Structure 1
Amino acid sequence: MSGLADQGMLDLGPESLEYRMIGPRPDQAPTLVMLHEGLGCVGMWGDFPDRLAAATGCGVFVYSRKGYGKSSKATLPRPLHYMHDEARESLPRLLDAIGFQRGILVGHSDGASIAAIYAGSHQDHRVRGLVLIAPHFICEDVTAESIAQAHDAYDNGDLRARLQKYHADVDNAFRGWADVWLGNDFRQWDISEELAYIRVPILIVQGEDDQYGTVRQIEIAQEECYCPVDVALLPGVKHNPAREAPEVTLRHVSDFVTRILQGHEAAASAA
């Protein structure tokens, strides 16, 4: 789909998804597909996608999942396996619809979990690597505690007002995220099994002070993955490295992207 506009809505049949496309299209260069956090959307990435496109020369495709931004509303309550549904149903349709040919999945928080599930469920040779920013592989106590605090800030503080400018239906976005994570069943949520089936290099970027996850998340990837796992643990950074430490995050991500994609190009040339 080389005719992708710079921004618009992508019709995937059961859902219509808001997107932005920066730089060369998928038929012209590798594409970085960015998957946002649990309360994120296209707009909440700020200018990080633009800077990533400039630093790597890749095209960057950013989209809002169902329930977020201007995309179709989600049906609530979401099921426990909603991230698996995204990885196994929505993401494959999206990659095919945009004409994805080769590139890297770049996910943050929930988006990182979805990227990991996808790579562990699909032998998709178009995907050359994963960048997982503040990923979740299990639900830790600190995760549930921080989401409970966010729930209180949404109901009694200014969080709803701050999110409202990014989401067409802010209650659908917030409830669709917080309510499932705070459900009792979610303490059993665990995607570490999928990690063993990932066959591409991974970069994990995490803040040392991440309030939603500890270094246990990194340890699980190192224990379960058979693929190379690079780690950038950033001091003084919490759950959103791209916003809190954009320069160092950009450097780590762009260095990894360039190395992985150049390695593939060199291997292809040698063959």
Structure 2
Amino acid sequence: MPVPLPLVVSDFTLPFADHYLRCRTLRQPAATPASRPWLVFLHDSLGSIQLWRELPAQLAVALGCHALIYDRRGYGESAPFGPEPRTPAYLEEEALSVPAVLAACGISRAVLLGHSDGGTLALLVAAAEPALVAAAITIGAHVFVEEETVRGIRAATQQYATTELPQRLARYHGANTEGLFRAWTDTWLAPGFRSWNIEHYLPRVQCPLLVVQGTADEYGTPAQVTAIAGQVAGPVRTALLPGLGHTPHRQAPELVTELVVGFVRELVPDA
């Protein structure tokens, strides 16, 4: 079997009217069919381009697709959050901007892979933009608030106050660190957020969907997987990974890569 050629990596800043996003593309060195979708990675509440580690490159090489990774607004090297306070509908609001990011990068068909908040974003974008989203993969996504989620975030708040977690996060987020951590914890721990729920969007998800979660996820239970898989309209595959926590793609990257590659090859036309 021939060894795949190295990907062409480009880092750039994508400007918008009131902010900018730091982006990275991983392109195949040879021409690919125009119909082949891009892999697009949507990170979690503490994530960034760097924290995806080698997963985007591994999947891009295995599938022969171009890939886009970007720091969401307020994260990594992207612009800080705007002056308005975060609302309980912040994910629904951010989902409206994702198609504009893809359009600015010349992407008209995408396989979305999202972790945690990013997985929720992937579901929301798939529901709203069926022509854009060829498939979606979620890892530890949430569609409602559970006590396990609240408990996990309270534990993270304690770690932030008593350990070197702020310094570790600052390696990836710099001046954005305090703002993104408080936005996450203040929103999810607010009493008014307990009723947050996006299940009513799920019947609009028509594309193939892979739902991945660790059985030891410290921020959610398999009830999230059951809710998602039971309500989407398109073909769905689930993977509950024994003993793994909220970041199975970092705990068992080979396993997650195998799951994603098999899913995309089987259920996504032209990929």
TM-score (ref. length: structure 2): 0.91
Q: Distance in 2 between matches of 1:251 and 1:5?
A: 23
The question of 1:179 aligning with 2:160 is answered no
What corresponds to 1:104 in structure 2? 111
Aligned pair partner of 1:7 in 3, 6, 11: 11
Q: Distance in 2 between matches of 1:26 and 1:95?
A: 18
Displacement, 1:30?
2.0
Q: Distance in 1 between matches of 2:139 and 2:254?
A: 14
Q: Match for 1:162: what amino acid?
A: R
Q: Distance in 2 between matches of 1:6 and 1:41?
A: 16
Displacement, 1:27?
7.9
Q: Distance in 2 between matches of 1:145 and 1:61?
A: 33
Change (3 A) 1:183 1:126: same
| Equivalent residues of 1:204, 1:218 under 8 A apart | yes
Q: Match for 1:33: what amino acid?
A: V
Instruction: Give me the CA root mean square deviation.
Output: 1.8
Aligned pair partner of 2:270 in 247, 265, 269: 265
What corresponds to 1:63 in structure 2? 70
Unaligned 5+ segments in structure 1 are 267-271
What corresponds to 1:194 in structure 2? 201
Q: Structure 1 vs Structure 2: percent identity of aligned residues?
A: 36
The question of 1:21 aligning with 2:25 is answered yes
Deviations 1:95-133 (A, max 9, x none): 11011122211000000001111111233x131110011
Partner of 1:61, secondary structure, is: strand
| Equivalent residues of 2:229, 2:237 under 8 A apart | no
| Equivalent residues of 1:34, 1:105 under 8 A apart | yes
TM-score (ref. length: structure 1): 0.91
The question of 1:44 aligning with 2:51 is answered yes
Q: Distance in 2 between matches of 1:8 and 1:151?
A: 32
Aligned pair partner of 1:156 in 149, 152, 162: 162
Deviations 1:189-235 (A, max 9, x none): 10101001111010011101001010000110122112111011111
Partner of 2:173, secondary structure, is: coil
Q: Distance in 2 between matches of 1:255 and 1:203?
A: 10
| Equivalent residues of 1:27, 1:100 under 8 A apart | no
What corresponds to 1:119 in structure 2? 126
Displacement, 1:5?
6.9
What corresponds to 1:80 in structure 2? 88
What corresponds to 1:238 in structure 2? 245
Q: Match for 1:138: what amino acid?
A: F
In the TM superposition, structure 1's runs of 4+ consecutive aligned residues that sit over 3 Å from their partners are: 24-29
Deviations 1:34-60 (A, max 9, x none): 000110011111111111111111111
Q: Distance in 1 between matches of 2:266 and 2:67?
A: 17
Q: Distance in 1 between matches of 2:236 and 2:37?
A: 21
- Provide the aligned length of Structure 1 versus Structure 2: 259
What corresponds to 2:61 in structure 1? 54
Displacement, 1:143?
0.2
Q: Distance in 2 between matches of 1:176 and 1:101?
A: 31
Q: Distance in 2 between matches of 1:185 and 1:122?
A: 29
Q: Distance in 2 between matches of 1:69 and 1:26?
A: 30
